[in-house]
Amino acid sequence: MEIVLYEPEIPGNTGNIARLCAANHMTLHLIKPLGFSIDDKHVKRAGLDYWHLVDVQVHENIQELYEKYPDRRYFYATTKAKHTHSEVKYEIGDMLVFGPETRGLPESLLEGKEDTCIRIPMVDEARSLNLSNAVAIIAYEGMRQLDYPDLKAEGNWIQSK
């Protein structure tokens, strides 16, 4: 599975997500414009010393991503979705798309994609979760369903249960 951040705004969230990607062999796709430089000290600080472990790909726009990966399945995280993140049967290679922290994914991007829009259940009064938390929840549900691919190495915490 791969993580796509559409126009991310907060460097600390992107750094945390990069760390999650590094720890789980996930590629991180960043769709411009970015609200920061990926060389920004806040991004680097949040990712700590994990940056060498993550494959970060920067795309000029979402269309460039679609053209580079035309045969992938894309799931769009939005509070407006009818399906929950745990209803999906994830597959290796799926792209999990998340919107900017202050506004989420634009309606124009979600049009016609209702069947691949997913949400994390929460009380109606809560507007949304922090982006890095939402990415972690959905990514780990996908990895759980796939039996944690690439994370079964000797001495790994999963095998030591």
Residue-wise pLDDT tens digits, 26-57:
999 999 999 988 875 666 665 556 778 889 99
pLDDT for 160 equals 35
How large is the angle between the packed helices 11-23 and 131-145, nearest 10 degrees? Answer: 20
Specify the range with the lowest mean pLDDT, choosing from 10-19, 27-36, 135-144: 10-19
**153 confidence band (pLDDT: 50, 70, 90):** low
Residue 5 above 50 pLDDT? yes
pLDDT averaged over every residue in the chain? 89
pLDDT for 157 equals 47
Cβ contact 120:100 at 8 Å: no
Label each residue of the chain as H, E or C: CEEEEECCCCHHHHHHHHHHHHHCCCCEEEECCCCCCCCCHHHHHHHHHHHHHCCEEEECCHHHHHHHCCCCCEEEECCCCCEECCCCCCCCCCEEEECCCCCCCCHHHHCCCHHHEEECCCCCCCCCCCHHHHHHHHHHHHHHHCCCCCCCCCCCCCCCC
pLDDT for 159 equals 39
Residue 109 above 90 pLDDT? yes
pLDDT for 58 equals 95
Separation in Å, CA 55 to CA 4, 17, 31, 149? 12, 12, 14, 17
pLDDT for 158 equals 44
pLDDT for 154 equals 52
pTM above 0.85, yes or no: yes
The predicted model gives 128-152 an average pLDDT of 92
User: Any binding-site annotation on 120?
Assistant: yes
Cβ contact 98:1 at 8 Å: no
Residue 2 above 50 pLDDT? yes
User: Any binding-site annotation on 160?
Assistant: no
User: Any binding-site annotation on 104?
Assistant: no
Residue 91 above 50 pLDDT? yes
